[in-house]
């Protein structure tokens, strides 16, 4: 079973069944070897090689695959230098062949970055866990939940800001349209708020209330300004006309003097 490529996380169950049988005597080394495949790594085997049964090539490759899984659980980008050291590989060709074999057996999923000398792991299988590892797992899950709550809170705040921006934009657009309609068709604007004026007149002696009052006052002020402007323009024209008349008096036609007979001449004629 320790040499089977597809069995990677059943050693704890097997250990619980064989623990009593292998606890003492010559079989204790096999229980230790079973613990190594359940929780350990290839460097652990090298460190305790003298007290453990000798491993076949298939078992060594299987333990090296599990060692890669343990490394991937701590880092997603594993340098070639770390793999060469922990797996005791002699060259990169052997290391890459071992990694490719682990990928084809679905132990890990990832890619080889030969330029940067890295193994980028996207997925790896799970290994058996010890009881002392449960607290770390619970802590990791709590941190993950806290991160999810923070993300949800951020999304809710973004939604609120987006809705507020949309509401402000809609209100501004309505205000601009109302002002444009007020400038081009004032009687229609006043008529649109007649109902509001009637409702406000019953509650207040001043007539219009709220937006209706503001619209009517704005329209009245606009009309007054237009009237004053027109009056001022007409007054200026009249004043200019009067000044022009003063500077240029009316033309008087000059009549040619008629010839009058002199009284003396008349008397002389009568005498003759």
pLDDT tens-digit map of 149-179: 999 999 999 999 999 999 999 989 888 888 8
Per-position b or e across 14-45, b if 16+ CB within 10 A of its CB: bbeeeeeebeeeeeeeebebbbbbbbbbbebb
Question: Are 111 and 84 members of one domain?
Answer: yes
In a domain, 208, yes or no: yes
Tally the C-alpha atoms within 13 A of residue 194's C-alpha that lie toward its C-beta: 6
In a domain, 24, yes or no: yes
Question: Are 163 and 151 members of one domain?
Answer: yes
Question: Are 213 and 239 members of one domain?
Answer: yes
* d(C-alpha 228, C-alpha 217), whole Å: 16
Phi, psi dihedral angles at 249 (to 5 degrees): -65, 155
Question: Are 143 and 55 members of one domain?
Answer: no
Question: Are 121 and 25 members of one domain?
Answer: yes
- Show the domain range for 87: 11-128
In a domain, 182, yes or no: yes
Give 126's pLDDT tier (boundaries 50, 70, 90): confident
Bridge-based pairing of strands 108-113 and 118-124 is antiparallel
Question: Are 17 and 81 members of one domain?
Answer: yes
- The pLDDT tens digits of the residues spanning 210-269 come to 455 565 666 666 767 667 666 666 655 665 666 566 555 444 444 544 444 444 444 344
* d(C-alpha 241, C-alpha 252), whole Å: 20
* d(C-alpha 151, C-alpha 32), whole Å: 45
Say if pTM beats, i.e. exceeds, 0.75.
no
- Residue bearing the bigger pLDDT, 143 or 208: 143
First to last CA, the chain: 180
């Amino acid at each position: 079973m320790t040499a089977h490529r597809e069995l990677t996380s059943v050693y704890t169950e097997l250990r619980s069944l064989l623990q009593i049988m292998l606890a003492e005597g010559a079989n204790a080394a096999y229980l230790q070897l079973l613990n190594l495949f359940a929780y350990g790594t290839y460097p652990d085997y090298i460190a305790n090689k003298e007290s453990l049964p000798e491993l076949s090539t298939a078992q060594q490759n299987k333990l090296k695959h599990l060692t890669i899984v343990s490394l991937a659980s701590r880092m997603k980008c594993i340098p070639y230098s770390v793999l060469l050291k922990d797996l005791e590989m002699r060259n990169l060709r052997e290391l890459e062949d071992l990694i490719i074999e682990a990928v084809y057996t679905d132990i890990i999923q990832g890619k080889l970055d030969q330029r940067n000398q890295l193994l980028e792991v996207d997925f790896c299988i799970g290994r058996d866990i010890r009881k002392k590892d449960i607290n770390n797992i619970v802590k990791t899950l709590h941190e993950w939940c806290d991160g999810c709550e923070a993300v949800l809170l951020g999304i809710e705040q973004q939604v609120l800001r987006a809705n507020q921006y949309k509401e402000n934009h809609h209100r501004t657009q309505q205000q601009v349209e109302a002002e444009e309609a007020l400038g081009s068709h004032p009687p229609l604007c006043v008529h649109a708020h007649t109902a509001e004026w009637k409702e406000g007149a019953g509650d207040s002696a001043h007539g219009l209330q709220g937006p209706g009052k503001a619209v009517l006052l704005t329209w009245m002020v606009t009309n007054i300004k237009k009237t004053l402007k027109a009056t001022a323009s007409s007054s200026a024209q009249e004043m200019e006309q009067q000044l022009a008349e003063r500077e240029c008096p009316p033309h008087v036609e000059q009549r040619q003097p008629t010839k009058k007979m002199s009284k003396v001449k008349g008397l002389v004629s009568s005498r003759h």
